[in-house]
Amino acid sequence: MRAFANLLERQAFTPARNAKLRLLRHYLEATPDPDRGFALAALTGDLKLRTVTPGLLRGLMVERVDEQLFALSYDFVGDLAETIALLWDTDRDEDVPLHQAVALLSETGKAGLPAAIAGMLDRLGPSQRLAFLKLATGNMRIGLSARMARMALAEMGVPDVAQIEEIWHGLTPPYQPLFDWIAGGTRPEHAAKAPFRPVMLSTPVDLDQLQAFDPADYIAEWKWDGIRVQAINDGGVRRLYSRTGEDISGSFPDLIEALEFDGAVDGELLVRRGDDVAVFGDLQKRLGRKQVGKTILDSHPASLRVYDLMIWQGRDLRDLPLVDRRAVLEGADFGNDRIDVSPLLDFTTWDDLAALRAEPPVPVIEGVMIKRRDSVYVGGRPRGPWFKWKRDPHVVDAVLLYAQRGHGKRSGFYSDFTFGLWDADQLVPVGKAYFGFTDEELRELDRFVRNNTIERFGPVRSIAPKLVLEVAFEGLNASGRHKSGVAMRFPRISRIRWDKPAVEADHLSTLKAMIL
Catalytic residue list: 223
Cis peptide before 97 (omega within 30 of 0): no
In angstroms, the CA 346 to CA 352 distance is: 8
Helix (H, G, I), strand (E, B), or coil: what is residue 65? Answer: coil
Smallest CA-to-CA distance from 483 within 512, 459, 460 is with 512
If you count them, how many residues does the chain have? Answer: 516
Tell how far CA 432 is from the center of its chain. Answer: 16
Cβ proximity of 308 and 325 under 8 Å = yes
User: Residue 53 CB: number of other CB atoms within 10 A?
Assistant: 11
Longest CA pairwise span in the chain (Å): 73
The two beta strands, 460-463 and 475-478, are unpaired
Collapsing DSSP to helix, strand or coil, 398 comes out as strand
Classify strands 460-463 and 394-405 as parallel, antiparallel or unpaired: antiparallel
- Alpha-carbon distance of 171 to 188, in angstroms, equals 9
DSSP 377: -
Task: Label residue 369 exposed, middle or buried (CB < 10 Å: 0-12, 13-18, 19+).
Answer: buried
